[in-house]
Amino acid sequence: MKLSITSFLLLLFINISFSAFSQDSTAVQKNRNKEMTKFDAVKERKGVKLRVIPGPMYDPSIKFGLFVAPMLTYYPSKGDTISPNSMTSVYGMYTTNKSYIVGFNNELYLKEDTWRIRVRAGGGGLNKELSLYDYSETPDGTLYPDTTKLVGADAKQKVFQFDSYVMRRVIPHLYLGLGYNYKKVDFEGNNPESDTLVTVNGLTESSGNSGVAYKLDFDTRDNVNYPYSGYFVSYTGYQYFASDEKNNEYLTNMIELMGFWSLNPTHRYIIAAKVYGNILTGNPERANYSYYGRVNGDVQRGYQSGRRVDKNALNIEVEFRYTSPFFDNKLRFMGLLGNGKVYGDYNDFTDAEWLPVVGLGVRYTILPYARINVRFDTTYSKDGFIWYFGIREAF
């Protein structure tokens, strides 16, 4: 059954790609060559635009839910026709298994994209099934993890994170910056057995860590929301300091490599690719390890967060993107292939399992000039089908 579903999605993805490039009817050729919508930049950058995005969501780890995100977009620097749109948004999510997240995000692009400033914070409680080591007991009653056996635990992940940085362009396309970050992740079992499991696995009584963020970005993208072309190379080092008199200082090395290539002059067909790495050094508490499916706010599509945990994470995704001429160029489609793994403590890189995913998606553009879309993606992987609803692209 798994093979047939995977084969079906792959064949559908290939068929969409083949149809987009191979049909030679007059209508298709006309749509291929149709220009994208033209905009008056000065007019589009006036005022503040408000969009309220409600939508359903589903993840096997936190079940069905409702997502709401009021969003403001604007251009603060007067006379600036170069900077991307600035954005202020708040968001909230609640699901049928009583998981919730609330937060805000503020991104500023100033002085012809000379300055980039971001401040965001969010927190909540996520009820999810974790894959943890079972436990055994010594003759004196001490419990210890049995690393030969994995079992499920029904637990709540309690998380709060504050992230901020200021970056300045030092030469064309190159930005350097500093920031401040605070992160606290802790777990508690939703029943006595699960509470014992999360305790034995070292996921309880975690301390919050504050630290400094070091950032370096090289960005040649023509747009930050939905690029037609360009590259984005980013390194962020989160240096977390020890807290509560524990030896728990550590460094998070977050690396992002992205590329975007238009396949025709009208930018209707685009290949987009991303490589994401999250590498921890030092002495992080296990609650701060990489939970494949969502690591440092980056979503690895197709997998339930909590089932696969280790110190480091690697994720690779490739998308084929198509902008149709329908609804005045606002309807877009996507096909996805990806793979990744977590490794570094429980398993070395060679032994850690690969986590492939295939997916399809549809987008509708709510702010055409800024190229901001709402998106619906469905994926199939070792965790089965998962679908996502969100604002802007996954990358």
pLDDT of the residue at 212: 96
CA angle 275, 121, 176 (to 5 degrees): 50
Q: Distance from first CA to last CA of the chain, Å, rounded?
A: 31
CA distances from 134 to 128, 177, 202, 214, 309 (A): 17, 43, 12, 38, 15
- Nearest one of 123, 95, 73, 50 to 389, comparing CA atoms: 95
pLDDT beyond 70 at 20: no
Q: What is the mean pLDDT of the chain?
A: 88
- Predicted confidence band of residue 130 (pLDDT cuts 50, 70, 90): confident
- Which amino acid does the sequence have at 162? F
Alpha helix (H) residue ranges in the chain: 2-22, 26-33, 41-44, 192-200, 326-329
**What's the rounded mean pLDDT across residues 101-122?**
97
3 or 114, higher pLDDT: 114
Q: How far, in Å, CA of 201 to CA of 49, rounded?
A: 47
Is residue 149 helix, strand or coil? strand
pLDDT beyond 60 at 14: no
- Predicted confidence band of residue 137 (pLDDT cuts 50, 70, 90): confident
Task: Assign residue 26 a region (left: φ > 0; alpha: ψ between -120 and 50; beta: otherwise).
Answer: alpha
pLDDT of the residue at 36: 75
pLDDT beyond 50 at 18: no
Q: How far, in Å, CA of 393 to CA of 82, rounded?
A: 21
**What's the rounded mean pLDDT across residues 152-170?**
94
Q: Where are the beta strands (DSSP E) in 265-383?
A: 269-282, 290-291, 294-295, 298-299, 309-310, 312-323, 331-343, 357-367, 372-381
Percentage of the chain lying above the pLDDT 90 cut: 64
Q: How far, in Å, CA of 326 to CA of 125, rounded?
A: 40
pLDDT of the residue at 40: 87
pLDDT beyond 60 at 19: no
Q: How many CB atoms within 10 Å of residue 204?
A: 17
pLDDT beyond 80 at 155: yes
- Nearest one of 307, 330, 389 to 61, comparing CA atoms: 307
How many CA atoms within 13 Å lie on the side-chain side of 134? 6
pLDDT beyond 80 at 21: no
- Predicted confidence band of residue 54 (pLDDT cuts 50, 70, 90): confident
Q: Which residues pair with 389 in a beta bridge?
A: 376
- Predicted confidence band of residue 297 (pLDDT cuts 50, 70, 90): low
- Predicted confidence band of residue 9 (pLDDT cuts 50, 70, 90): very low
- Nearest one of 208, 192, 193 to 135, comparing CA atoms: 193
pLDDT beyond 60 at 23: no
245-276 pLDDT, tens per residue? 888 899 999 999 999 999 999 999 999 999 99
Tokens linked to 178: 């500093």
Q: How far, in Å, CA of 197 to CA of 294, rounded?
A: 22
pLDDT of the residue at 13: 45
pLDDT of the residue at 225: 96
Let me know: does 100 contact 125? Beta carbons within 8 Å: yes
**What's the rounded mean pLDDT across residues 158-182?**
96
Backbone angles phi, psi at 43, to 5 degrees: -65, -45
**What's the rounded mean pLDDT across residues 96-105?**
94
Q: What Rg value do the Cα atoms of the chain yield, rounded?
A: 22
Tokens linked to 123: 């927190």
Least confident of 16-30, 88-102, 297-311: 16-30
pLDDT beyond 90 at 202: no
Task: Assign residue 184 a region (left: φ > 0; alpha: ψ between -120 and 50; beta: otherwise).
Answer: beta
pLDDT of the residue at 6: 45
Percentage of the chain lying above the pLDDT 70 cut: 90
21 or 379, higher pLDDT: 379
pLDDT beyond 70 at 5: no
- Which amino acid does the sequence have at 184? K
